[in-house]
Amino acid sequence: MINIKKEKCIGCGACVKDCLGKAIKLIDGKADYVRNCMHCGHCVAICPVGAVSIPGYDMEDVEEYEKDTFTVQPENFLRAVKFRRSIRNFKDEPIEREKMERILDVGRYTPTAKNRQECRFILVQNQLEEFKELVWKEMPNIVEKLKTDNPEYARVFELFYLRHQKDPGEDVFFFNSTSFLVIASENPLDGGLAAANIENMAVAEGAGVLYNGYMMRVIKASDTLQEWLGITDTPVSCCMLLGYPAVTYRRTAPRKKKNIEWK
């Protein structure tokens, strides 16, 4: 449902032209919602007089555009992307709740296919030690399952487990991180796009991130871990470690030469 205040509408037709689903028409010089749509919010964003709202959505969070605070200089953004590093050495210092909420908000605002907004973000922070213990407890069962489903990973994880048994400080799954984030979504691309934005925001907040493909394999192979996380009905699309880096980088790292085709 889209709500259009007729007394405010000036009949400019901007929302009509920008509506992908053709759900809005001009009737008697006023915009009118005539059919169901995917609630993408373009009509809210484009209306020059703020006459449009979406009931059930957080309209209090809608902000008026200001060029100085809503834009990032392109050369700065490119340098920020070049400078980010995958972090495997974290400080024993949790990311503050206020910062973490902003980091997760960029995931929430990331575009999703058909505007489904179905990504789930499970942040394990206060119960991280409990979750770690469960992971290592489940590891023998996970290894046995992977011997059939993915023997290569079974061998690797079995080695990790044996190392951890000898030295509990040997933890190649969590690297002393203070937060573990699971993104679950039916469309894996939705989760991947959200993860990319979350990483950039985490870096902007002074934190660091490691995409954790190992933990994706671990969780997918364990019904027990899925139940603990509450995601038995939604596939895992990304796992991430977050925390403050315990290492300082001084310059960007090199990349292979460009592989771009202009046609």
Q: Which residues pair with 179 in a beta bridge?
A: 242
Residue ranges in the chain whose pLDDT is less than 50: none
Name residue, tokens 């300082």. 248
| Pair 232, 120: CB distance under 8 Å | no
The helix (run of H) or strand (run of E) holding residue 99 is helix 97-108
Distance CA 27, CA 59 (A): 25
| Pair 246, 89: CB distance under 8 Å | yes
Crossing angle of helices 97-108 and 188-204, rounded to 10°: 140
What tens digit of pLDDT does each residue of 181-191 get?
999 999 999 99
pTM of the model: 0.93
Distance CA 107, CA 199 (A): 9
Sign for the pseudo-dihedral over CA of 121, 192, 21, 25:
positive
What pLDDT was estimated at residue 169?
Answer: 86
Distance CA 131, CA 226 (A): 11
What beta strand segments (E) does 168-225 contain? Answer: 179-184, 208-211
What pLDDT was estimated at residue 58?
Answer: 93
What tens digit of pLDDT does each residue of 38-73 get?
999 999 999 999 999 999 999 999 999 999 999 999
29: left (phi over 0), alpha (psi -120 to 50) or beta: left
Distance CA 110, CA 54 (A): 18
